[in-house]
Amino acid sequence: MKKLLPRLLLTPAVLSLLMWMIVPLVMTIYFSVIRYNLMQPDQTGFAGLENFEYFLTDPSFSVAVVNTLLLLGSVILITVLFGIAIALLIDGPFPGRGIVRLLLISPFFVMPTVNALLWKHMMMNPIYGVLAQVWKFFGATPIDWLTDFPLGSVIIMVAWQWLPFATLIFMTALQSMNREQLEAARMDGATYLQQLRYLYIPHLGRSVAVVVMIEMIFLLSVFAEIYTTTGGGPGDASTNVAFLIFKQALLNFDAGVASAGALFAVVLANIAAAFLIRMVGKNLDK
C-alpha cells in the first residue's frame, strides 16, 4: 500500500509524458531515414542519410542556423541589459509604481501573432506606421523595416515581448537584496557605481543565468512572429531553423527532410537544456 499508492498517482502523468516524448521521437527518427513526401505517396523506401544530407547541404540551412543564433543572442542581450536597467530603476518607491509594474509586464501576455501584426502594420509600416512618422518628423527617410531589416524587425518584436519577463525576474530578485548591507555600503560612502559593481550585479548573477536559460528554450523555436510577418523572407533573410523545418514539412510537404531537420533541432535544444537541467538541479538540492 505504502508503495503502490504513490506509483498509482504518478503513473498517469509519467505515462502520458513518456508517450508525448517517445512516440514523436521514434516516428521522427523513422521518417528521417525514409522517402516520405506527403504530395508524392508513390515515392517510398529507405533513404539512408539522404534526408540529412539534403537538409544540411541546403543553402538555406546555414543561413537559418546563423539567424537562429543571431536572434537568440540579440534578444538575450537586449532583454538582460535593459531588464536589469529597468529593474534597478523601479526598485524603490515612487509615485505610480504599481501602475508602472502592470504596464511594464503587459507585453508579455500579448499572444505572438498579435505582437507580430501590431509591429508589422502599425509600428513598422514604411508609410503609415508610427516609426515612419517619427522618422519623418526628424527629417529622416522612413525605413522599410521588414524588407531592409527583416531579422532585425523580428528581433525587435521578440525582444519587446521578452523584456517584461526579464524585468520581472530581476525585479523579484532585487527584492531579496540584503538591505542592511546596502545601507552599510552607502554609509561608508560607496558610490552608486560601486554599489552596482560589488552588490547589485553579483546578487543578480543567478537570475541572469535563469533568464538566459529560459529564453534559450523559448527563443530557439520562435515561430509565430516569423510566420505572420516576414514568412521567413525576403529569401531566407529571416528564416530560423524552426521555420525552415516548418517550410520543409508543410510547404514542401517533405516529411522526410523535415524530420531530419527536426532531429537536428532536438540536438540543438538538448545542448541548451543540459545547462538548464544542471542549474535547476543544483537548486533542487538546497
Partner 1 sequence: MANQTSKRSKYPPALIVRTVAAWAVTLLLFFPLGWLMLTAFKTELQAISVPPLLIFTPTLENFSIVQERSDYMLYAQNSFITSVVSTLLGLMLAYPAAYAMAFFKGRHTKDILMWMLSTKMMPAVGALVPVYVMAQSTGLLDSRTALIIVFTLSNLPIMVWMLYSYLKEVPHEILEASRMDGATLWQEFRLVLLPLTLGGLASTGLLCLVLSWNEAFWSLNLSAAKSGTLATLIASYSSPEGLFWAKLSAASLMAIAPIVVFGWFSQKQLVQGLTFGAVK
Residue 188: CB minimum distance to partner 1, A: 19
Give residue 134's identity as a one-letter amino acid code.
V
Between 149 and 231, CB nearer to partner 1: 231
Between 60 and 229, CB nearer to partner 1: 229
Between 116 and 237, CB nearer to partner 1: 116
Confirm if 184 and 104 have CB atoms less than 8 A apart. Answer: no
Between 199 and 224, CB nearer to partner 1: 224
Cis bond upstream, residue 234 (ω within 30): yes
The cell for 267 is: 540536438
Residue 74: CB minimum distance to partner 1, A: 17
Between 23 and 184, CB nearer to partner 1: 23
Between 119 and 237, CB nearer to partner 1: 119
Residue 39: CB minimum distance to partner 1, A: 13
Backbone Cα Rg of the chain: 24
SS (H, E, C) 23-63: HHHHHHHHHHCECCECCCCCCCCECCCHHHHHHHHCHHHHH
Confirm if 71 and 79 have CB atoms less than 8 A apart. Answer: no
Q: What contacts 240, CB < 8 A, 6 or more positions away?
A: 64, 67, 68, 71, 222, 226
Residue 162: CB minimum distance to partner 1, A: 11
Confirm if 275 and 213 have CB atoms less than 8 A apart. Answer: yes
Residue 280: CB minimum distance to partner 1, A: 5
Residue 236: CB minimum distance to partner 1, A: 16
Burial letters 236-273, b for 16+ CB under 10 A, else e = bbbbbbbbbbbbbbeeeebbbbbbbbbbbbeebeeebe
Confirm if 6 and 19 have CB atoms less than 8 A apart. Answer: no
Between 24 and 202, CB nearer to partner 1: 24
Residue 142: CB minimum distance to partner 1, A: 11
Say which residue the cell 523601479 belongs to.
90
